[in-house]
Chains A and B, each alone.
Chain A
Amino acid sequence: MALSFPVFEAEELSWQASDKFILQQLSFRVEQGEFVGLIGPNGAGKSSLLRCLYRKITNYSGQLRFMQQPLEHYSRQALAQQIAVVLQEPLSQFELSVYEVISMGLTPHKRLLSFDNQQDRQRIANAAAQVDLADKLQQHFNSLSGGEKQRAMIARAIVQQPKVLLMDEPTNHLDIRHQLEVLALAKSLGITVLVSIHDLNLAASFCDRFILMNNGSIVANGDYQSVLTQTNLEQVFGVKAEIDPHPFHNGPRITFDLDSSFDLDSSFDLDNASNSNRPSDPERSS
């Protein structure tokens, strides 16, 4: 870690969609090799932040640097060669095979007219083996289970040979074993990972560092002792939380419940406020 430098560096990053601030004055760094968890309630701006990082959103204000260069200095292709993104469960109308989905990871590395060579096929096969899908390459992607789909998307990211992996709620809709598997797989790649997760206990058992967001701002940023505190969770999620040592690893275990002293009316208000702030799909309205 002696030579570490920030992979991402944001300074006063703000973004607004139809005159509503979705992201406000975010400043943070992601160091090389870190596994960072992005946590916060629905509509906190986690997805929007990630979309800024993979340049789906470009009209932000403030500074955003990747590998010490402003993000906008990179070409699409150059970024795609270094940043891989795993989104929530992907959809496909047509029956793509698992092999075809994984091979999409070659896109940023291949010239338009080139054909896949033996080396590329080997890379795809290795990636599939790494995520334990080697025997399912010829199956239809849509016939896979949710966990397998997400593993195939990680294999696609592996083929992309990125320096950074961004994941936007990759564990949604997965059962607990697959949730653990997907994150363990991401961790095993040994690259910088920034992942948004809803499940705090899941985040707690994998992430080195946490960025807690609420209403487009960063509430806390640091290790679990400083972020996953009772007061933070109560303030941001509006729940009563109890934190004790985890029985299986030396991270924390978080137990929560609706705060009975918390009066329901104001909790509804809070819910509505976060709903109206949610970037449901700001591009659509613009």
Chain B
Amino acid sequence: MSTQQPAQQGFTLPYPILIISSILLLIFTVAYAVSIGSVDLSLSQVVSALFCQSSCDINSIEQKIVWDIRLPRVLMALITGAGLSITGAMLQSVTRNPLADPYLFGISSGSALGAVTVMALLPAAVISITFGALVGGAISVALMLTLAGRSASHVERLLLAGVAVSFMLSAFTSLILYYSSPEIAATLLFWMMGSFSNSQWQELWMPYTMVAFGLLLFIIFRRWVSAIQAGDESAHTLGVPVSRLRLGMLIICSAITAVLVAHVGGIGFVGLMIPHICRFIVGAQIHRILVMCLLLGSTFMIWVDVIARSLLEHQVLPVGVVTSAVGSLFFFVILKSRSQQTINK
């Protein structure tokens, strides 16, 4: 026992500290992201805009900027980062594939098809682009599950079905784009690269509900998901209904992704890399990865949005471009330092 105890603490001790510092970082990030923009506000002004009831050191216009423009935008970035990261973490775990990401099953191409259909074929007044993208995403998931069929118990077939669906739907999107006007093509391109610019309060409830619901289910089933990590057959011998669990998790992940993509467009990298970064930091326990993904993913996404709207003056860069550029750089650094650590050991 005496050899046991210090080792135990070795990995439990830093975890609360990590969580607390990540929470603080997230709070600071939100405040900072709200303060920065074409009208610069100080952090204290932001705090008073958020919490002050009367006699505040902020005028009503600034208050309006904070509440109506910046806060919904930051909150949308927050939930997008959090949602894509936990979805990626869950998909990587249930498929035991480190390359799995939320767009695995062609959801982004399905959503793009839905969006472009609405833009090109229907007047936007009838149904919103968001709704079109949502329907497109749902169709891609349904198609993938039909294609994979009863073989959903085999990971490889699921992955291949996802790839097939992705290509099929992209083909339709390209076809519609080919016959539509350049303006629509430009709009779609911008939409697909992702943006938080048009985020509004009334849009926020859906992503938040969906991510909260998904997270709840992920946490409930975390024991079974960790049992899958040592192989399907092995999980079966522990009493886990492997195929049903995997299918259920895939559907939840797809629903979260479809909702997020419909609202902000296709933002890559976050769902693939943040889970790996979190795994580096907190180890392989699924609930720790999920909590860490939630915090780091949202922090990362907000910073990306800050960079996207402040890097060039009077111009907003597509979030997807910044995510990939910043993210991969960050990831290289971590990978490099990790491999050096293992060499030094």
A residues within 8 Å of B by Cβ?
Answer: 54-56, 75-81, 83-85, 87, 90-97, 100-101, 104-108, 110, 112-113, 121, 125, 128-129, 134-135, 137-138, 160, 283-284
Contact = CB atoms under 8 A, between A and B. Distances in A.
A26 to B, nearest CB: 21
B248 interface: no
26 contacts: A56-B233, A77-B239, A78-B239, A79-B239, A84-B237, A85-B234, A87-B233, A87-B234, A90-B230, A90-B234, A92-B229, A93-B96, A94-B229, A104-B230, A105-B238, A110-B223, A112-B220, A112-B223, A112-B224, A113-B219, A113-B220, A125-B4, A128-B4, A134-B3, A135-B3, A138-B8
B96 A108 contact: no
Given A56-B233, A90-B231, A104 B224 contact: no
Given A90-B231, A135-B7, A137-B7, A125 B1 contact: yes
Contacts of A91: 230-231
B124 to A, nearest CB: 44
Interface of B: 1, 3-4, 7-8, 10-11, 92-93, 96-98, 153-154, 219-221, 223-224, 226-227, 229-231, 233-234, 236-241, 279, 283-285
Contact of A100 (B4, B226, B237, B240): B226
Contacts of B227: 104, 107
Nearest to A79: B239
Nearest to A96: B284
Nearest to A77: B239
Nearest to A101: B230
Contacts of A93: 96-98
Best-buried of A94, A101, A134 by chain B (most CB within 10 Å): A94
A107 B239 contact: yes
B165 to A, nearest CB: 22
A112 B230 contact: no
B238 A134 contact: no
Given A54-B236, A80-B239, A137-B4, 6 more contacts: A84-B237, A93-B98, A104-B230, A112-B220, A125-B1, A138-B8
